[in-house]
Chain A
Amino acid sequence: MMNPPFDEVDRRIVGATQAGLPLTPRPYHALAERLGLEPEDVMRRLRAMCERGVIRRIGVVPNHYRLGYRANGMTVWDVPDEAVDRLGAQVGALASVSHCYRRPRQGPEWPYNLFAMVHGRTRDDVERETERIAAILGAHNR
């Protein structure tokens, strides 16, 4: 099947890996044993979830605070709708940006449609990265 639905077995695998993968040489086999499934089935389902984007990535998730990235800011911008996709991709490509989305404006008191979460070691770093975003947006930044 090209696009298997997200089923109960997938859901059990998600539940069993929410806290992480077992730290053993054969983690998927350990997972399969715990769930009463075949290792091949667990791996096939995980691969399918990666292909469908249900799994974004598999790896280590650093605690950014512990790595010294102690400052962050949610930056919001009002850019023309016809340019937001192009500009959003450019802003999202900055290494300091962890999340970059287009969201609906909320009328005159909240006219912003582009959101970028910026991380840095210090508040100054975050301010500097925010200026880089402003430079990318240029005249589109209203």
Chain B
Amino acid sequence: MMNDLERTIVNGLQGGFPICERPFLAAAERLGIGEEELIEGVRGLLDQGVLSRFGPLYHAERMGGALTLAALKVPEADFEAVAEAVNAFPEVAHNYARDHALNMWFVVATDKPERCLEVIDEIEAATGLHVYNMPKLAEYFVGLRLEV
């Protein structure tokens, strides 16, 4: 179970960590705790695996990269071989089997925008399957507001 200090950190520091000389001090004052308490609290939560990260969250496309969501309709018998072929691409992340005719879903992320379509073509060549390419057209929300 989490203690009050840990809960305060998880709920109160999901954004807005300041950029200044003593940001832990400024954030701690806002949360009503001490600077050292905050630093050690974050360290403990990272060590326990309650936090997966602490720092800036970057927006891939705005750094000049590209990102798309793609799906395949994989014959059941070929599923593992296709998964292996798809996962061999370093640009592929978050590959999931899902319960639909489009049964394999993954993200393609590339440093350069033009590389994204090349990877899609290469996946089609490697698997012999049509890649359903679904880049975002509009973003309404990204984030997760978890209360503990």
Name A residues whose Cβ lies closer than 8 Å to a Cβ of B.
6, 11, 14, 17-21, 23-29, 39, 43, 46-47, 49-50, 52-64, 66-69, 74, 84-85, 88-89, 91-93, 95, 97-104, 106, 109-110, 113, 115, 119
Q: Mark B46-72, 1 if CB is under 8 A from A, else 0.
A: 101111111111110011100001010
Contacts of A29 in B (CB 8 A): 21
Contacts of A23 in B (CB 8 A): 39, 42-43, 54
| Contacts known (A60-B42, A102-B136); A53 close to B59, Cβ less than 8 A | yes
Question: Whole-angstrom distance between the alpha carbons of A50 and B17 in the complex?
Answer: 11
Partner of B62, one of A20, A24, A52: A52
Q: How far is the CB of B22 from chain A (nearest CB, A)?
A: 6
| Contacts known (A61-B52, A88-B140); A109 close to B101, Cβ less than 8 A | yes
A103 touches B136 (CB 8 A): yes
Least CB separation from B48: chain A residue: A66
Contacts of A20 in B (CB 8 A): 46, 53-55
**Interface-side segment among B7-15, B76-84, B119-127:** B7-15
B51 touches A62 (CB 8 A): yes
- Category for how many chain B residues contact A: 35 or more
Q: How far is the CB of A95 from chain B (nearest CB, A)?
A: 5
Contacts of B52 in A (CB 8 A): 61-63
Taking A6-B64, A59-B15, A102-B140 as known contacts, 13 extra A-B pairs with beta carbons closer than 8 A to each other, sorted by chain A number, are A23-B43, A25-B22, A27-B23, A28-B23, A43-B19, A56-B143, A57-B14, A57-B16, A61-B52, A69-B146, A106-B132, A110-B71, A119-B146
A63 touches B55 (CB 8 A): no
A110 touches B35 (CB 8 A): no
B141 touches A93 (CB 8 A): yes
Partner of A6, one of B23, B43, B63: B63
Question: Whole-angstrom distance between the alpha carbons of A69 and B23 in the complex?
Answer: 29
Least CB separation from A21: chain B residue: B55
